[in-house]
A = this chain, B = another copy of it.
Amino acid sequence: MKNDLKVEQFGIHYMLDGYGADAVILSDAVALRHILDTLPTKMGMHAINEPVVVEVGAKNRKDPGGISGFVMIAESHISFHTFPKRGFVTIDVYTCQNELDTDKLTREFTEFFKLKEVDEYTKKRGTKYPVENIY
């Protein structure tokens, strides 16, 4: 790459690991799908495919089964994996926007899943993304 390449930040990646969630909500595929149907618009994003929601059976001691969901938004994505029997949900919201209202996301998820405890983390992604086309 040229040394004088102008770069900018590509996007923001928000991660939430939620504990003590409501087991009924974590098991409700319809409600979970509704989140993927509505959240992109609510956050100013644009879904580019139908959300995929899959129920996953118990696999081993660590994984007692749950529901996984994913929706592609324009060149980024939202995903979750729930574990009703452990009251656990792990969520990713990755956007190519320069700004993301992470407090709003945390409020939305905390309320929806009735989370008792939350670990959230935000990572800048693609910090050397070229401002112009290079090819």
Contact = CB atoms under 8 A, between A and B. Distances in A.
Contacts of A23: 135
Interface in A99-135: 116-117, 119, 121, 123, 125-130, 133-135
A74 interface: yes
Contacts of A117: 1, 128
A54 B123 CA distance: 24
A64 to B, nearest CB: 6
Given A49-B54, A87-B1, A133-B64, A127 B72 contact: no
Contact of A56 (B74, B83, B85): B74
Contact of A74 (B49, B59, B84): B59
A59 B70 CA distance: 21
Contacts of A59: 74-75
A37 interface: no
Contacts of A77: 68, 70, 79, 81
Nearest to A135: B23
A101 B62 CA distance: 20
A123 B66 contact: no
Nearest to A87: B134
Contacts of A63: 74-75, 96
A20 B52 CA distance: 32
